[in-house]
Structure 1
């Protein structure tokens, strides 16, 4: 029975490079989940539900915990990426999963790149640029997007790309937390009321909960941190303790980011600020800090978007390469992926609405498919876990979350059917 408790082992002190990689994996998970879409959703849902939106955030965090803890544990102990593990379970299954993830990553990355352009526009709103057509302030979003993607490309082209990626996402993630904490403190949100309604909400919108879970756990986001952990080499049963602590810390960081953004906007809503549906978050930050608030929001939006661009590019390419792929080749493929997404953004202007909805629906299918493989390995394929005895409590929590992902997948099938018929 002792072997079933957790199987975590105490490891010796890790070298600085390994610690940086673990930090990078945690923040890559967190920042991938906090992208431009999440910021927009949080603004709109907070305006709609007020403090009751805290319930949706709490549910999403519980599901996030059950999913990510299992994904990190299985991939980390096996030392295999999700696509490779899926092929071990059933040849060809990994390529199906890879195709879904890469397509979703491609479409959403166009949206992420659009977010970087908007972020730079807000960041430079106090600068007297010559406005482009239809742009009243700040840098032209298209120019901002090109600059941002160039920054992302540099990350993957430097000699130690992995270390550069880790440091950048940690710095930007920390910056986002500090800025959101500042704004949340300034707006003085009703924290006690938010805590109460996180458990006893005055109104419950399950559509909101579903949307939030799909946007923060689905698709490539599920695997971003875990794949970085595998690539960093902190794998195997002997690192189970490290994997557990890292995944829990990453989930906490994700939760802190979500809660602070919610509180920052809730404070302005409760203070009576009138927020436009199109620019609710920017209006909220502007209400809290004046003109400087718009610049602060721009920094947060840009940081969220650029880290999501990096996360989507890195994770998508990790699904079509292997551990035998030379680092240089993988990095060049990642740069090419980001460049393709940028080209599509510049041609289309934004991710087409139909494609975004279609990719979002696919995310709802990717989650149960990929998570089924994870749980099957945890339950039946001890050989792939190198003899590791999987904790029963973790498997049970995963099964409960899996049932919810099946319902989300069913909802996604309905969305795909509507798109097909329209």
Structure 2
């Protein structure tokens, strides 16, 4: 593989991971939590980015060095564990995809005044068409890169127009007014929304499919994982400041479509249509990332999953769409999806940390001790935070 080809796949992996995280759930979570916690939410955002980098470095390095997907690694750690991990990832993927399709419906509702359910069906058909193309990986890479750039530029522009209190946000990054324990629910949720469940494997599996594996590519893969998180981080900071600028001005976010309010407040009708574009792009790229990565966890279990990979992806998207149409409640689903994936994270990360020390998986590669310690702390923290936040997550569902 030439350097140019490798860089092309690198960009694809970075944006697949980043845009998978920057979905409708990402927008809705950030809107809701900024309104609830105001500038204190800055602490959760920065803490989540630090955790995300540690998680991605651990997972991407081990996947790349081993040249194996997550479920294959898990089965070598403990026979049968790969099936459990695959089941958890696919369950979390469904939770996210149902919410993503709800977000897609909201986006097309803004642009064309379509019923939310009809919008979800249109995006379902569009993404299925993408995966029906023989070399869908190349098309997927281009779409997620375009989507990522459009979302960052538009959100950055709106952020500047909302005039957020930058100094207050910076101070509360370290010294939030809210109790640190209270901030555990949003922290678990947004960690789950950026590296929980399937998202942490999205870029890594894309690199394995591209053949960018082995110890010789460790540095290259490490840079890719950090760039992916930083890309997500830029968008998250822009979104937070954008929402903070609005809520500190005394504006209440629309409870049915909270992420739309800053766009409408800052730029009027033009901004509202910009929001429709951002949300639709976010939905399409996230549906692609969820479906591609979730089904990649089945590909090594039986030749039929490899042979008909595109069809299984299409089925995954279709089932997600049908569940959304039956359930509704897109805003609640989008927040719950992040929380569910945040609770899955300790299981998959523990598996990867054990794998990093097994020669049968990584050969003579020596995983850095600081990364192992960082990962272990993250596991313990996310377990504790998930237990503490569980009651609020249940309350969110039943309320």
TM-score, normalised to structure 1, is: 0.86
CA contact (8 A) 1:20 1:163 kept: no
| C-alpha spacing 1:269/1:354, structure 2 compared with 1 (3 Å) | closer
1:241 aligned onto 2:216 = no
1:344 aligned onto 2:344 = no
Tell me the alpha carbon deviations over residues 253-290 of structure 1, each in whole angstroms, 9 at most, x when there is no partner.
Answer: 01001001111111222333333333332122101000
Quote the Cα distance in structure 2 between the aligned partners of 1:244 and 1:252.
12
Quote the Cα distance in structure 1 between the aligned partners of 2:328 and 2:252.
29
> Could you say which residue in structure 2 is the equivalent of 1:89?
77
Summarize the alignment of residues 13-412 of structure 1 with structure 2, pairs less than 5 Å apart. Answer: 14-16=3-5, 18-124=6-112, 138-204=113-179, 205-206=182-183, 207-322=185-300, 329-349=308-328, 357=336, 362-378=340-356, 380-411=357-388
CA contact (8 A) 2:339 2:393 kept: yes
Compute the displacement of 1:89 (Å).
Answer: 1.1
Quote the Cα distance in structure 1 between the aligned partners of 2:286 and 2:224.
20
Quote the Cα distance in structure 2 between the aligned partners of 1:325 and 1:395.
36
Quote the Cα distance in structure 1 between the aligned partners of 2:47 and 2:30.
14
Quote the Cα distance in structure 1 between the aligned partners of 2:248 and 2:168.
11
* Rg larger in structure: 1
| C-alpha spacing 1:371/1:412, structure 2 compared with 1 (3 Å) | farther
TM-score, normalised to structure 2, is: 0.91
CA contact (8 A) 1:86 1:373 kept: yes
Quote the Cα distance in structure 1 between the aligned partners of 2:393 and 2:110.
35
Compute the displacement of 1:49 (Å).
Answer: 2.2
Compute the displacement of 1:410 (Å).
Answer: 3.3
Compute the displacement of 1:416 (Å).
Answer: 9.2
Compute the displacement of 1:344 (Å).
Answer: 2.5
Compute the displacement of 1:20 (Å).
Answer: 2.1
Q: Which runs of 5+ in 1 are unaligned?
A: 1-11, 125-137
CA contact (8 A) 1:189 1:263 kept: yes
Quote the Cα distance in structure 2 between the aligned partners of 1:15 and 1:275.
45
* Aligned Cα root-mean-square deviation (Å): 2.7
Structure (1/2) with the larger helix percentage: 2
Compute the displacement of 1:318 (Å).
Answer: 0.7
CA contact (8 A) 1:265 1:285 kept: no
Compute the displacement of 1:352 (Å).
Answer: 11
| C-alpha spacing 1:110/1:381, structure 2 compared with 1 (3 Å) | same
Q: Which runs of 5+ in 2 are unaligned?
A: none
Quote the Cα distance in structure 2 between the aligned partners of 1:99 and 1:319.
9
Count matched residues: 395
Compute the displacement of 1:328 (Å).
Answer: 5.3
CA contact (8 A) 1:69 1:244 kept: yes
